[in-house]
Amino acid sequence: MARVAVLLGGLSPERPVSLSSGRGCADALRRLGHEVIEIDPQDHGWIAELRDVRPNKVFNALHGEWGEDGRIQGVLDYLQLPYTHSGVLASALAMDKAKSKAVFAQAGLPLAAGKLMHRLDAARAHPMPAPYVVKPNAGGSSLGVFIVREGANRPPEQLLDPDWSYGESVLVEEFIGGKELTVAVMHGRGALAVTEIIPAGEWYDYDAKYSSGGSRHELPAQIPGDVARDLMRWAEDAHNALGCRGVTRTDFKYDPKTNKVIVIEVNTQPGMTPTSLAPEQAAHLGMSYDDLVAWILEDASWPR
């Protein structure tokens, strides 16, 4: 058995989600017989703590900025510690929505039309005909995301908030209606399944993702077989195009009326909370939560 440092919490707005994911993974690792040390990198002292612990492997359960954007991965590379999930480049590319879209375009994946803007420019006037979506260029968990509907008088006023904390660059994209779908990929094993996410509210926002009863999941998604096969293939293509490792989850929108599909983003460190989608898809295929955590840890390596 190994001594495993689990990184959880961190500095991003997704801290509560990371704490839930990390505690779940830490508990699973203990059940599997590993010695587990939980480390919350809220200040520079965590690096010294990590060095003192001298783990055999690091299980990265951080989400968002300073967790899955390549920065923490760079520290772990410098320390020459084997760690889970994707390495520096893949993490940084996936976190930057505009750059990952450029990679996806080269790979021939279906994408929404859009452009990168400063948030204040996007707030001055409609940057494209409504409906459209405004989202932080670097961020996750649907924080700071707004759907501008047809007939809206102006862009979201929240973009002008002096306390805005989601970065100065926003991606503005055409809004595609229809089904919210997601596919988890295990590196070297391929895509797992297609899940439809049916939010209780208007769309799949932060509360829908993480609140009890915020959404329900239909697994497998009730979509045509050829569409499901395309989604699984495209999820693998997106994973590979970015150079990802470990487990990823690719989100899609699918409009049954027009048969249009778009790739939304790749999550290089998908949630491992009680309501998370990747563990649910693994369970659908007969892999328990603990088995999935064990596989992620086994996949850890340095360099990534």
pLDDT in tens, 73-84: 999 999 999 999
Q: What does the pLDDT read at residue 179?
A: 95
Statement: residue 204 has pLDDT above 60: no
Banded model confidence at residue 9, pLDDT cuts 50, 70, 90: very high
190 catalytic per annotation: no
- Quick check: is 78 in a domain? yes
One domain for residues 106 and 196: yes
One domain for residues 41 and 12: yes
Model pTM above 0.85: yes
The residue annotated as part of the active site, out of 15, 119, 249, 304, is 249
One domain for residues 204 and 106: yes
Q: Assign residue 188 the CATH number of its domain.
A: 3.30.470.20
- Quick check: is 266 in a domain? yes
Lowest mean pLDDT across 108-122, 152-166, 245-259:
152-166
Q: Is the dihedral of CA 263, 113, 254, 176 positive or negative?
A: positive
One domain for residues 245 and 107: yes
Q: What does the pLDDT read at residue 165?
A: 85
21 catalytic per annotation: no
Q: What does the pLDDT read at residue 221?
A: 97
- Quick check: is 155 in a domain? yes
One domain for residues 154 and 235: no
Q: In percent, how much of the chain has pLDDT > 90?
A: 81
Report how far residue 58's alpha carbon sits from residue 39's, in angstroms, rounded to the nearest whole number: 10
The residue annotated as part of the active site, out of 210, 215, 236, 276, is 210
Give the pair of three-digit tokens for residue 122. 């996007």
249 catalytic per annotation: yes
Statement: residue 294 has pLDDT above 80: yes
Residue where a domain stops, chosen among 124, 157, 174: 174
pLDDT in tens, 29-54: 999 999 999 999 998 899 999 999 99
141 catalytic per annotation: yes
Amino acid at 133: V
Give the pair of three-digit tokens for residue 278. 């990747």
One domain for residues 104 and 236: yes
- Quick check: is 47 in a domain? yes
How far does Cα 13 stand from its chain's mean position?
Answer: 13
Statement: residue 139 has pLDDT above 80: no
One domain for residues 291 and 218: yes
The residue annotated as part of the active site, out of 14, 68, 69, 299, is 14
Q: What does the pLDDT read at residue 108?
A: 98
Q: What does the pLDDT read at residue 203?
A: 55
One domain for residues 188 and 292: yes
180 catalytic per annotation: no
- Quick check: is 196 in a domain? yes
- Quick check: is 184 in a domain? yes
The residue annotated as part of the active site, out of 69, 251, 280, 299, is 251
78 catalytic per annotation: no
Q: What does the pLDDT read at residue 163?
A: 87
One domain for residues 99 and 232: yes
The residue annotated as part of the active site, out of 91, 137, 141, 142, is 141
**For range 208-221, the mean pLDDT:** 75
271 catalytic per annotation: yes
Residue range of the domain that includes 261:
94-111+177-299
Report how far residue 156's alpha carbon sits from residue 119's, in angstroms, rounded to the nearest whole number: 10
Give the pair of three-digit tokens for residue 92. 């940084």
Q: What does the pLDDT read at residue 43?
A: 83
One domain for residues 219 and 104: yes
Q: What does the pLDDT read at residue 4?
A: 98
Q: What total number of domains does the chain contain?
A: 3
Between these two residues, 209 and 79, which has the higher pLDDT value?
79
- Quick check: is 304 in a domain? no
Q: What does the pLDDT read at residue 166?
A: 87
**For range 115-126, the mean pLDDT:** 93
Q: What does the pLDDT read at residue 76?
A: 97
Statement: residue 89 has pLDDT above 80: yes
Q: Assign residue 74 the CATH number of its domain.
A: 3.40.50.20
Give the pair of three-digit tokens for residue 94. 């996936």
One domain for residues 102 and 127: no
Those residues with Cβ within 8 angstroms of residue 9's Cβ, 6 or more apart along the chain or in another chain: 15, 18, 19, 22, 40, 41, 42, 62
* β-bridge partners, 253: 180, 262
Backbone dihedral angles phi then psi of residue 75, each to the nearest 5 degrees: -65, -45
The residue annotated as part of the active site, out of 21, 100, 267, 276, is 267
Q: What does the pLDDT read at residue 215?
A: 79
240 catalytic per annotation: no
